[in-house]
Structure 1
């Protein structure tokens, strides 16, 4: 049985959310992001015509498009509308994967005998537009890679079906940068030897690719040939990552406790970024010396930024630690996870912060997770 995999992507999601609530923003160049030293979180197609792109410094974006209107962004609005869209889709499909705050994979394999998969997907997109007031694009094909590339090629308001017999002819003329796993470094490496289209990449010997880019060479070759066996992973709100520390000797040293929590937040945030997760909920747990245990949580806009998560965790600790009593345990948990990269939450980030994260993650990847960290987060007891 041929698989039927759909990729759905909300068009310029943050921009569409703002326009949903303010029709006066329709048709004008619009940038969502931080202040003068911040970066672009999202931008309208009108702004993209001037060369504005996500993750670009706001100052550069305004030089390219001086007439653009800049909006700082509404975290709560975007999270709520993402949840609304998730519910709309989840009620209508057998298997749903929430890949990020604004994109989804649907597995409709076998549903053709009940209802045409393409027509079914069209009706889901229409329901999202009607019930949530947001435009959404989609592509239907045989696997996740092809459907995701298809959505990108069909936006905005794309409606595309790529049948199995059409997959290679669809992929062949496209740039290798269209393949999700091809970043700038891989693109530059392959370009230097003349590999710029998917067709050329698909004809490369697998062993040569493995020698050039390592273990990912075979996976890249498969994607260029339209092969992707990765399943659609059912969406679950209950996924979480956590850590906790039980002390050898109970303590009430507030400064050291806060340092520990800050360090926990940094390490968990690094784990989020490495595994390409974003969290929407921070939970702090404490256990007093008499074994009384308390927890407190706070919702946040989807993020993997440790400066944001550490601040929220420390605020929760201040709220929950109300007794003048020693603690035997503290813990931190991030829940409500969705797949996505940090650049989805750039509202409060500056160019310097983005550069700092990239550098710190590089050093941790190369020399170990304890190789570098914020001074406020150095763990005591080591």
Structure 2
């Protein structure tokens, strides 16, 4: 049975939500992100993009390129609400759904052709989403996740298209190599240095030549260029919480040591939030005394995955909780009320220096392990 993989992407999601909430924004260039010149752009409308504005750009530069743009601060709660609305519509009307981000979905429609016609049903689903939420959405339909995503990107905004079975390679061939998912600036430049600027040229390269240059990733590049992608659509399931706790070998009242452990747990959990694409809106600290008496304290916050916001909250909760001055047996940190979209949402209210720092540290952790880098105050020597 031939696969039928649908990729749906909400058009300029953050700006679209703001426009639904304020009709005066229609047809005007809009930038969402940090309000100060030191902030960065989280999202921008297509009108603003025509001036060269793009996400992750310093706000100072964005203001210079598009001085007439309307600058808005992001609203986590509104974006989460609209994302959940779209998710509910899709999950109720599709057999197998993967939520790739706050505004992006993959749907496995294999086998539906003989009952509905997959392309016709995809159009119906798109109309339903627009009617129920008011948001604009584009989609691409093909036999693989890679090709469907490329199709969606090519037809945005407010478009849709189908690549028939056997036409995948032909569709991809004339496109620039950076149109392929996973081909970033560095990889694209390496390929251009090899004389490869189009996907069609890449697809005709000997696979072993690419493997010598890119290692195992070379084979993946060759497969994607040829429209080959068997990766499955993973069933949608949102985690309810993330938590870490430590039981000490010896009960302690060393506040410096206790707080260092909490800092380390919060920092590691923040990394896991960003890695998996989430923000948290509720922070909980747990204490267990030597007599096994256990206490929890929590606080509701605006969604975030930033260490420098979450760590002070964890320490504040600990100070409020630790009243008995008894020996501590266990400490723990728990994040709940998780929402998707951390890679985009985390840029709000971040300075141009902090966001790249988190990215660099997360790259090191991904390569060498979660404990490979961290704040010095999270790893003090325990006093005897």
TM-score by length of 1: 0.91
Which residue in 2 is equivalent to 1:8? 8
- Give the count of matched residue pairs: 381
Aligned positions of 1:271-286 closer than 5 A: 271-273=272-274, 275-281=275-281, 282-286=283-287
- The aligned counterpart of 2:79 is 78
Q: Gapped runs of 5+ residues in structure 1? A: none
Relative distance call for 1:106 and 1:313 in structure 2 (3 A) is farther
What residue in structure 1 maps to residue 32 of structure 2?
Answer: 32
CA distance in 2, matches of 1:239, 1:215: 35
Q: Distance in 1 between matches of 2:352 and 2:102?
A: 22
Listed as ranges, the matches of 1:1-382 within 5 Å are 1-34=1-34, 35-238=36-239, 241-273=242-274, 275-281=275-281, 282-296=283-297, 303-318=304-319, 320-321=321-322, 323-334=324-335, 342-364=343-365, 369-378=370-379, 381=382
Q: 1:82 to 1:317 in 2, by over 3 A?
A: farther
Alpha-carbon separation, structure 2, partners of 1:187 and 1:217: 12
CA distance in 1, matches of 2:141, 2:300: 34
Offset, 1:212? 0.6
1:163 CA displacement? 1.4
8 Å CA contact 1:280, 1:299 repeated in 2: no
Which shifted more, 250-259 or 124-133?
250-259
Q: Is the 8 A contact 1:97 1:232 kept in 2?
A: yes
How large is the Cα RMSD of the aligned pairs? 2.4
> Residues 248 and 365 from structure 1, CA distance in 2 versus in 1: closer, same or farther, beyond 3 angstroms?
same
SS at structure 1 position matched to 2:51? coil
Q: Secondary structure at the match of 2:167?
A: helix
| Consecutive unaligned residues in structure 2, runs of 5 or more | none
Mapped partners of 1:98, 1:149: distance in 2: 17
1:268 CA displacement: 2.8
Q: Answer yes or no: is the 8 Å Cα contact 1:47–1:68 preserved in 2.
A: yes
Please give the alpha-carbon distance, in whole angstroms, between the structure 1 residues aligned to 2:345 and 2:164: 31
Distance 1:188 1:380, change over 3 A: same
Structure 1 pair 104–312 and aligned structure 2 pair: CA distance change class (3 A): farther
